[in-house]
Amino acid sequence: MLLWMSLAYADPGEGAALDRPAPIVNGAIEKEYDATVGLAFGAFVLCSGSLVTPRVVLTAAHCLVDIPPDVFVDSGLILTGTRSLNPEGRYAIQKVKAHPGYVPLSGTVGLQTLPENDLGVVILRDPVPDDVHPVWIRTERLTRPDAIGELVTSVGYGLDEVGASGTKRSAPLVVGDLDDEFVLSYNADNENDANICSGDSGGPQYHLDPDGTLRQWAVHSWGDGACAFESGSTRVDQESDWILKQIESVHGTTDRCEVLGLYGDGVCDASCDQLDDDCWLSWDDVVAMGQPDPGACSTGPSAAWWLVGLVAPILRRRRWK
C-alpha cells in the first residue's frame, strides 16, 4: 500500500522515520497489563513487546533487524514493571527472530510503502515468574465487521506528550479500519486524540472479548511522523501459524493451557485444547446444586436427580486472562 504522507516506525531509531514521532500520546500511566514489557539496553527502552508465554515475547520485526542478534543476547534485556529506571524484573535474552517475510517501510516523503509481516519474537533465557501473566494471541480470523468500531487497548513504553519515555502507558483506541495487514486507528476517533508513537513499536493492542478473555489482536508497527493522524498495528491472526511455530519451538506445544499452566489450576478454562478437569463438577457439587431453597415450595423429589445424567462439563467460573 502506498501512502501520500510522512510515515515513521513507532520506534526510537531513525530507520525510515521522516520525523521523530512522539508517544502513546495522551495515554495514562499503566500499572496493569503486566504482560507488556520493554525491550531494553540498560534502562533505555528500544521498543515494547508482549509476553505471550512465560518465555516468548512478541514484538515488531523492525525492532530486531538493525541490531545483530548477538548484541541482543549479550547486552539486551526484557524489562517488566511500570518504569524502566526501576523495573520489577530484568530478563536475559536467549534468542531473537524476525518474521522471514518481513518487508520494511520504504520510500521518501510523499510516497511510502507500508511494511509487511512486521512481527518478531524475543526468547527469554528463563521464564518470568507466575505473578506475571502472559496474554495469548487471537488465532481466529478477524473480519471487518468483528473489528471496526471495537475498542482495543494499546500499551507501550514510548514517549509521552512532554517527550519523556521509559514509562509504561496505555490508551483505549477505536479500530477505525482493518485491512489484510493492519489494525488501523485514527487520532480523531480516539479520546484525547490518543495514538501510538515512538518507543511503542512492538507493543500490544489488546481486546477484551465478550466472554471476558483478553487477547492480543495486533503489534504496534507504524504511525504518521507527527503521531497526529493514524497508526497501523500488524494483525496477529494473519500470521498466527508462524507465531505458534515459534511458541512450539520453545515449549514443545501450542496448547495455550499447557503452556500457561492452566490445566488443573482450580479454575475452569473452556477454551483449552483438551478438556480442563477443572470444568467438571464433583458429585457433591451436583447434589448441592439440587438442594431445594428452604424458603421455596417443594412439590416433588429433590431436583438433584435431574442432574444425575449430566454428561457435558458444567462451567463453574470463566477465566479472565
Domain CATH number, residue 184:
2.40.10.10
Residue 76 domain flag? yes
Considering the domain architecture, whether residues 281 and 244 belong to the same structural domain is answered as no
With vertex at residue 109, the alpha carbon angle to CA 15 and CA 62, rounded to the nearest 5 degrees, is 25
Domain-embedded: residue 201: yes
- Note the pTM of the prediction, 2 decimals: 0.80
Say if residues 196 and 155 touch (Cβ distance below 8 Å).
no
Q: What is the mean pLDDT of the chain?
A: 81
Q: Give the per-residue pLDDT at 287.
A: 57
Q: Are residues 132 and 220 in the same domain?
A: yes
Boundaries of domain holding 278 = 273-321
Let me know if residue 259 belongs to a domain: no
Q: Which of 4-18, 68-82, 202-216, 233-247 has the lowest mean pLDDT?
A: 4-18
What value, to the nearest 5°, has the Cα angle with vertex 218 and ends 33 and 222? Answer: 105
Within a domain: residue 264? no
Residue type, 140: E
Q: What is the pLDDT of residues 22-55, one digit of tens each?
A: 344 444 454 579 999 999 999 899 999 999 999 9
Query: Do the bridges between strand 214-224 and strand 2-3 make them parallel or antiparallel, or are there none, so unpaired?
Result: unpaired
pLDDT band at 3 (very low <50, low <70, confident <90, very high): very low
CB 258: neighbour CB atoms within 10 A? 15
Domain count for the chain, please give it: 2
My answer on whether 152 and 300 are in the same domain is no
Which residue in 211, 230, 231 sits closest to 221, CA to CA?
A: 231
Same domain assignment for residues 242 and 280:
no
Q: Let me know whether 213 and 283 are in one domain.
A: no
Predicted local distance difference test score (pLDDT) of residue 110 = 61
The model's confidence at residue 199, banded by pLDDT at 50, 70 and 90, is confident
Whether residue 230 is contained in a domain is answered as: yes
* Cell matching residue 153: 487497548
Instruction: List b or e across 158-172, with b for residues whose CB sees 16 or more CB atoms inside 10 angstroms.
Output: bbbbeeebbbbbbbe
Residue 260 domain-assigned? no
pLDDT band at 222 (very low <50, low <70, confident <90, very high): very high
Q: Please check whether residue 98 is in contact with residue 104, taking contact to mean a CB–CB distance below 8 angstroms.
A: no
Query: Are 17 and 55 in the same domain?
Result: yes
**Is residue 222 a part of any domain in this protein?**
yes
- Residue with grid cell 497501523, as numbered in its chain: 232
Q: Domain check: are 86 and 160 in the same one?
A: yes
Q: Are 69 and 76 in contact (CB under 8 A)?
A: no
* 171 and 88 assigned to the same domain: yes
- Going by C-alpha positions, the residue among 29, 9, 23, 12 that lies closest to residue 170 is 29
Q: Specify if 266 maps to a domain.
A: no
Residue 52 grid cell: 505471550
pLDDT above 70 (res 237): yes
